[in-house]
């Protein structure tokens, strides 16, 4: 949708600067071939391999108790981390966009840290902190709290890796909106809580949802950091990606692909949702811009500016 | 007194945005805070609303000291420069917001909103969202939203800056009529002296965080208290005068020494309307050539160039312009009817000095 509109606009606006058709078609062919060979084909192959031993085998692979437990664990981890990161992201974005405070630039940098640190290093950081030989290890052992090679460690790792998604999505939106709407609500008597729920949150809801979807996709698919802290205990600390790897190493020809196809389906679902949201926000944005740019377009309608300036009698 | 500021100052870090500002406004008054951008007028307005806290001084609304009262409890209506409409709410819900916060009954809310919709000519737009409105409509929704809870005072921050000239004129008239009909007390910030002159009952002129003058539009125009006001409101010719041979001279123009000694300098200022022009090059005291003519509607402004190259700005009515046969490059003579002594930079102005009427009957006597 978006790209179609883009093309139209370009075609209309700078026909004189357009490339000759053969260049256009060559580039399009190259791009499509590349995407087909390296993106689409492998993905399709996953599904083909998954059902290569028939649908019965496919179903059995997924119904396997260990796979079932991996599915449950993956959903559990996502179920914990996504709401938490949604809350953290909102708070961080709010703080950065609406207030000035010392250390703001530092916070902004730290939010990006999980993007720049390799997930494996993230896992190691947690091991060094919470592991038996780690900083807090002895204390944790004393109190019989297990974090590394257990679910809490995997939740922490996922939390860390997926932290930036919501905040990064919200900060520019909140910065662009400024605080005037909130101030307006305050002058009308609304307190902070009411202002947040009725003014701030609704105005960022699509951005928030977008961030949540990306965050969720990463939480479901995270491998590196989780792999380091999980301990790979089958049926206990295997998530879906870890399960896929394990099955693959067991030289099973179809089972890993069957499980992988679940992850691939989730990825496709994420893509669809993401595109829908992008389309929706883009349309809203375009609409807002268009109206803002040509207010005169509405002049013939009731109550418009220039149509009539007769005050109703009071 | 509806609003009173007593010695109010506001610092942002090391910058004093507002310093020792005092003024008051009566119930039912429409007052303008006028000044160039960055002069502290918006900060003053935001302090009255409670969106900023004063560093020093006291603010009173209806006799109550409100320094420690939160924004929510001040009961002021605030119209933001960029409207700040709730973009996720329809026009109806925007206007109803303040009423819902104040826990009005559903029926009462509907009644009040439809009253305001009528008043501000927004009929049929209740279900629209802000992005579906034109600039002028958005501004009127912002006004309606601020007016809905019956605020003690309406505060407007550059209310007409974001709309084009024609709509701006209409909105100004709306505000004047609304203010008159609803007996509103309203304070608005503007950098547009014409806007302030046109609609305000009184004007508070700001410069560098200080109040330069408070007065009716007529007072600040006819009796500017400082050179800043004189230059900011309308056009003023300012000349540097040096006393030589017992006479103050600025190019060809001569003035009494006004008590200054030989070689001393002083400055004088005069409005374009205080210049009389004759089409006879030797009828009045000074000779000049018409350099440029600016069409201002009813009035024409002419730029006169003296033989020394010095230029002064004069103003004549369209009729006089035609009657005198003025045109660019035409030779004329002129004379000043009145001028003011200007104190050293920024200081108070001396009262007006009328030039002795030594000349034949004058033409071009405008406003």
Least confident of A198-207, A229-238, B61-70: A229-238
Among A189, A302, A305, whose Cβ lies nearest the Cβ of B124? Answer: A302
Q: What is the number of residues in chain B?
A: 367
Tokens of B363: 């033409």
Q: Which of A216, A220, A229, A218 is nearest to A120 (CA)?
A: A229
Interface of A with B in 284-313 (CB under 8 A): 284, 287-288, 291-292, 295-299, 301-306, 308-309, 311-312
Q: What is the pLDDT of residue B109?
A: 95
Using a CB-CB cut-off of 8 Å, the residues of chain A touching B123 are: 302-303
Q: Distance from CA of residue B85 to its chain's centroid?
A: 27
More confident site: A306 or B13: B13
Q: Minimal Cα distance from A299: which residue of B?
A: B134
pLDDT tens string A97-137: 888 888 888 888 888 888 888 999 988 888 888 887 777 88
Q: Please, which pLDDT band fits residue B349 given cuts at 50, 70 and 90?
A: low
Query: How many beta-carbon pairs under 8 angstroms link A with B?
Result: 120
- Residue range A243-284, pLDDT digits in tens: 888 888 887 778 888 888 988 888 888 888 888 888 877 776
- Residues belonging to chain A: 314
Do the Cβ atoms of B166 and A209 come closer than 8 Å? no
Cβ atoms of residues A171 and A96 within 8 Å: yes
Complex-level ipTM? 0.81
Residue B222 buriedness (CB in 10 A; 0-12 / 13-18 / 19+) = middle
Mean pLDDT of chain A: 81
Are residues A305 and B137, on separate chains, in Cβ contact within 8 Å?
A: yes
Q: Is A303 in contact with B124 (Cβ distance < 8 A)?
A: yes
Contact A305 B135 (CB under 8 A): yes
* Residue A19 DSSP symbol: P
Contact B134 A311 (CB under 8 A): no
Report CA Rg, chain A. 26
- B66 contacts in A (CB within 8 Å)? none
What are the residues whose beta carbons fall under 8 Å from the beta carbon of B342, sequence distance 6 or more? B227, B230, B238, B266, B267, B268, B269, B349, B350
Q: Cα B84 vs. chain centroid, distance in angstroms?
A: 24
Q: Specify the pairing of strand B153-157 against strand B186-190.
A: parallel
Answer yes or no: do A295 and B174 touch at CB < 8 A.
no
Among all residues of chain B, which has the CA nearest to that of A177?
B84
Tens-digit pLDDT profile for residues B170-211: 888 888 888 888 888 999 999 988 889 989 999 999 999 999
Give the nearest partner residue to A202 out of B85, B88, B181, using CB atoms.
B88
* Residue bearing tokens 């918006």: B42
More confident residue, B67 or A306: B67
Contact yes or no for B304/B343 (Cβ under 8 A): no
Measured distance CA(A89)–CA(B230) in Å, rounded: 54
| Set of chain B residues whose Cβ sits within 8 Å of the Cβ of A190 | 72, 97, 101
Q: Is A143 on the interface with B (CB under 8 A)?
A: no
Distance between CA atoms of B52 and A77, rounded to whole angstroms?
44
Average pLDDT over residues B357-365: 41
Cβ separation of A181 and B86 shorter than 8 Å?
yes
- Helices marked H in B263-330 — which ranges? 318-323
- C-alpha pair distances (Å), A7 with each of A22, A27, A252: 17, 15, 47
Cβ of A184 within 8 Å of Cβ of B170? The answer is: no
| Residues facing residue B294 across a β-bridge | B301
Q: Nearest CA to CA, how far is B80 from chain A (Å)?
A: 8
Interchain CB contact of A185 with B (< 8 Å): yes
* CA–CA distances in Å: residue B148 to residues A132, A236, B131, B140, B220: 64, 61, 21, 12, 34
Query: What is the model's pLDDT at position B367?
Result: 31
Nearest to A305 among B88, B118, B170 (CB): B170
Chain B partners within 8 Å of A195 (Cβ): none
C-alpha distance from A92 to closest chain B C-alpha (Å) = 22
Distance from CA of A282 to the nearest CA of B (A): 14
Runs of H (alpha helix) within A14-136: 21-35, 41-50, 55-63, 65-98, 104-116, 119-130
Provide the pLDDT for residue B355.
Answer: 55
> How high is the pLDDT of residue B359?
42
Q: With CB atoms and an 8 Å threshold, state whether B134 touches A296.
A: yes
- pLDDT confidence band for A52 (50 / 70 / 90): confident
Select from A190, A292, A295 the Cβ nearest to the Cβ of B72: A190
Between CA A275 and CA A271 the distance in angstroms is 6
- Positive or negative, the Cα torsion across B99, B103, B106, B107? negative
Pairwise CB contact (< 8 Å): A299 & B134: yes
């Amino acid at each position: 949708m978006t790209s179609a509109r883009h093309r139209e606009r370009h075609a209309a606006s700078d026909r004189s600067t357009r490339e000759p058709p053969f260049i256009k078609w060559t580039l399009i062919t190259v791009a499509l071939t590349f995407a087909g060979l390296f993106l689409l084909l492998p993905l399709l192959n996953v599904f083909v391999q998954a059902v290569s031993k028939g649908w019965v085998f496919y179903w059995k692979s997924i119904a396997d108790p260990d796979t079932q437990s991996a599915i449950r664990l993956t959903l559990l981890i996502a179920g914990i981390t996504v709401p938490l990161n949604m809350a953290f992201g909102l708070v961080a974005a709010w703080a950065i966009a609406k207030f000035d405070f010392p250390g703001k630039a530092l916070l902004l940098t730290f939010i990006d840290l999980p993007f720049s640190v390799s997930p494996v290093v993230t896992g190691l950081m947690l091991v060094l902190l919470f592991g038996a030989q780690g900083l807090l290890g002895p204390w944790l052992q004393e109190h019989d709290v297990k974090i590394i090679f257990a679910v809490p460690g995997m939740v922490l790792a996922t939390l860390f890796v997926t932290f930036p998604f919501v905040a990064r999505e919200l900060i520019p939106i909140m910065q662009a909106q400024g605080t005037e709407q909130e101030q307006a609500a305050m002058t009308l008597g609304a307190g902070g809580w009411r202002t947040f729920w009725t003014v701030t949150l609704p105005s960022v809801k699509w951005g928030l949802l977008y961030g949540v979807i990306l965050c969720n996709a990463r939480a479901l698919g995270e491998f590196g950091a989780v792999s380091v802290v999980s301990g790979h205990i089958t049926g206990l600390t295997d998530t879906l990606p870890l399960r896929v790897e394990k099955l693959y190493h067991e030289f099973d020809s179809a089972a890993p692909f069957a499980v992988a196809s679940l992850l691939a389906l989730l990825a496709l679902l994420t893509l669809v949702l993401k595109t829908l949201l992008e389309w929706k926000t883009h349309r809203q944005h375009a609409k807002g811009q268009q109206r803002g740019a040509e207010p005169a377009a509405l002049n013939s309608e009731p109550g418009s500016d220039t149509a009539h300036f007769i005050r109703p009698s009071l | 007194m509806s609003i009173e500021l007593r010695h109010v100052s506001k610092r942002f870090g090391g910058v004093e945005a507002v310093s020792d500002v005092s003024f008051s406004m009566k119930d039912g008054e429409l007052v303008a805070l006028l000044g160039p951008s960055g002069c502290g007028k918006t900060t003053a307005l935001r302090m009255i609303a409670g969106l900023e806290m004063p560093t020093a001084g006291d603010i009173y609304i209806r006799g109550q000291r409100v320094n420690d009262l939160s924004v929510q409890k001040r009961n002021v209506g605030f119209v933001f420069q960029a409207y700040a409409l709730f973009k996720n709410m329809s026009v109806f819900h925007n206007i109803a917001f303040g009423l819902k916060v104040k826990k009005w009954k559903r029926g009462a809310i509907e009644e009040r909103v439809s009253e305001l919709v009528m008043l501000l000519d927004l009929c049929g737009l209740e279900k629209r969202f802000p992005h579906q409105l034109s600039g002028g409509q958005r501004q009127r929704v912002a006004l309606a939203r601020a007016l809905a809870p019956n605020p003690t005072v309406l505060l407007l921050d550059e209310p007409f800056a974001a709309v084009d000239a024609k709509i701006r004129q209409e909105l100004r008239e709306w505000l004047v009529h609304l203010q008159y009909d609803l007996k509103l007390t309203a304070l608005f910030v503007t950098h547009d002296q014409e806007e302030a002159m046109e609609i305000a009952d009184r004007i508070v002129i700001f410069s560098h965080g200080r109040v330069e003058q408070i007065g009716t539009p007529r007072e600040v125009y006819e009796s500017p208290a400082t050179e800043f006001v004189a230059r900011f409101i309308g056009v003023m010719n300012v000349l540097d005068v040096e006393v030589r041979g017992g006479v103050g001279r600025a190019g060809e123009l001569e003035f009494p020494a006004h008590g200054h000694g030989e070689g001393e300098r002083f400055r004088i200022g005069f409005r374009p309307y205080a210049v009389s022009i004759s089409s006879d090059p030797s009828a009045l005291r000074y000779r000049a050539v018409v350099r440029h003519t600016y069409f201002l509607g009813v009035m024409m402004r002419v730029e006169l160039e003296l033989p020394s190259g010095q230029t002064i700005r004069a103003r004549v009515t369209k009729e006089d312009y035609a009657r005198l046969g003025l045109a660019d490059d035409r030779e004329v003579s002129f004379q000043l009817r009145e001028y003011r002594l200007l104190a050293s930079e920024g200081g108070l102005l001396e009262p007006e000095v009328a030039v002795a009427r030594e000349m034949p009957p004058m033409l071009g006597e405008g406003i």
